């Protein structure tokens, strides 16, 4: 039986662990709390993933190490680099293939649909941290110390999604209430399904062509926040969506009380102009297709009722 190790039990990490278990893998799901799904094939283990020695112990014998972890937004500067370095050192020490769940921050704001061949050009602290983590992993791959790949997603929708839209808009629209969202409500935007990200992580881990480069999660054509809210209301059987643009001053004021919200203005550029992911290469290489947006939104309505 193949052993796989998944670090992080957010939406994508949990689904990844479950899909691996369903496929017959032995799975170790590692979080600080030991949380995770109830499945005899999944061992939910409480451990600090920055403890490299402990992580090596838990990963020894594994075929693949999946990094689906990230610190809370306001602790990225201090906690993300040591976390990702511990995972990389673990992959180097154990020989497990290292598959990172990434995002689009490292591209900055390119002004055109983002493809995997774009250079890293971060325009934010968070973007620089993500770009640095990938570049360190890629350097280890090129030096022959590890096999690495990264699967990059846009803002998440679907089961377990913790994106700004999922938190700020979805519950309000389903309840028939007005929602505020800090974005150009008519700018095209890519939204990635959590289940699609999990399937992409597993697919690249099983294909030798995947190593040594990044891939984009299969993602539906972009839709604006206003269009997305309208479709969500229709699918949920809720009243017509009442979506309003949140003014910048209100977002900044909210940040006075929340350290996580305080971090959002730094990446607001992603919501103030078209922000589009192109996943053609991944879809053609691995024969993957994104889940329909209707199905993704229907899944969200179930989890929010």
- Please give the DSSP secondary-structure letter assigned to residue 189: B
- Is the model's pTM score more than 0.75? yes
pLDDT of residue 117 exceeding 70: yes
Residue 305 confidence (pLDDT): 64
Predicted confidence (pLDDT) per residue in 14-54, tens digit: 999 999 999 999 999 999 999 998 888 999 999 999 999 99
Q: 71 is written with which tokens?
A: 């610190």
Each residue of 64-98: pLDDT tens digit?
A: 999 999 999 899 999 999 999 999 999 999 999 99
Residue 194: name the closest of 159, 150, 165, 225 by CA.
Answer: 159
| pLDDT value of residue 11 | 94
In angstroms, the CA 44 to CA 29 distance is 5
Angle between helices 52-59 and 76-94 (to 10 degrees): 40
Query: Do 197 and 217 contact (CB within 8 A), yes or no?
Result: yes
Instruction: Report CA-CA distances (Å) from 185 to 155, 165, 229.
Output: 15, 11, 10
The answer to whether residues 25 and 1 touch, using CB atoms and an 8 Å cutoff, is yes
C-alpha dihedral (267, 272, 276, 277), degrees to nearest 10: 10
91 vs 300: which has the higher pLDDT:
91
pLDDT of 251 strictly over 90? no
Helices vs. strands in the chain: H and E counts, helices first? 11, 11
Q: Which of 116, 108, 77 is nearest to 270 (CA)?
A: 108
Q: What is the mean pLDDT of residues 283-303?
A: 94
Mean pLDDT for all residues in the chain: 95
Residue 139 has pLDDT above 90, yes or no: yes
Residue 304 has pLDDT above 80, yes or no: no
Tell me how far apart the alpha carbons of residues 142 and 282 are, in angstroms, rounded to a whole number: 21
Least confident of 126-135, 147-156, 159-168, 209-218: 159-168
Average pLDDT over residues 166-170: 93
CB atoms within 10 A of CB 22: 11
Q: By three-state DSSP, how is residue 65 classified?
A: strand
Q: What is the mean pLDDT of residues 267-286?
A: 97
- Residue 257 predicted with pLDDT over 90: no
- Domain 3-157+192-219 bears CATH identifier 3.30.300.30: no
Nearest partner of 10 among 161, 129, 150, 149, judged by Cα: 161
pLDDT over 90 (residue 107)? yes
Average pLDDT over residues 265-281: 96
Rounded Cα gap, residues 207 and 204, in angstroms: 5
Mean pLDDT of 207-233: 98
Share of the chain above pLDDT 90, in %: 88
Distance CA 208, CA 188 (A): 34
Asked if pLDDT for residue 113 goes beyond 90, the answer is yes
- For residues 131-147, one letter each, b for 16 or more C-beta atoms within 10 angstroms of the residue's C-beta and e for the rest, the string is bbbbeebbebbeeeebb
Cβ burial 159-184 (10 Å sphere, 16+ → b, else e): bbbebbbbebbbebbbeeeebbbbbb
d(CA 96, CA 63): 5
């Amino acid at each position: 039986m193949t052993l796989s190790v998944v670090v992080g039990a957010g939406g994508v990490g949990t689904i990844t662990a479950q899909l691996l278990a369903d496929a017959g893998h032995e799975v170790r799901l590692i979080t600080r709390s030991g949380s995770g799904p109830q499945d005899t094939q999944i061992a939910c283990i409480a451990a600090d993933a920055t403890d490299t020695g402990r992580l090596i112990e838990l990963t020894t014998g594994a075929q693949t190490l999946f990094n689906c972890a990230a610190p809370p937004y306001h602790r990225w500067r201090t906690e993300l680099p040591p976390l990702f370095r511990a995972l990389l050192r673990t992959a180097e020490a154990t020989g497990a293939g290292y598959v990172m769940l990434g995002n689009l921050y490292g591209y900055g704001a390119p002004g055109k649909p983002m493809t995997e061949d774009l250079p890293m050009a971060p325009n934010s602290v968070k973007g620089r941290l993500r770009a640095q983590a990938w570049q360190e992993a890629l350097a280890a791959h090129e030096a022959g110390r590890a096999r690495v790949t990264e699967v990059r997603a846009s803002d998440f929708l679907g089961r377990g999604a913790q994106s700004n839209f999922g938190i700020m808009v979805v519950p309000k629209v389903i309840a028939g209430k007005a929602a505020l969202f800090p974005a150009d409500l008519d700018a095209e935007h890519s939204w990635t399904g959590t289940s699609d990200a999990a399937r992409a992580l597993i697919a690249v881990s099983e294909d030798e062509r995947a190593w040594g480069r990044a891939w984009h999660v299969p993602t539906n054509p972009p839709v604006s926040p206003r269009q997305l809210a309208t479709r969500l209301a229709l699918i949920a059987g809720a009243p017509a969506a009442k979506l309003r643009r949140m003014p910048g001053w209100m977002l900044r004021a909210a940040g006075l009380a929340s350290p996580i919200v305080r971090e959002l203005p730094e990446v607001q550029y992603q919501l103030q102009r078209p922000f589009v992911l192109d996943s053609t290469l991944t879809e053609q290489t691995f024969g993957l297709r994104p889940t329909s947006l209707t199905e993704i939104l229907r899944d969200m309505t179930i989890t929010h009722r």
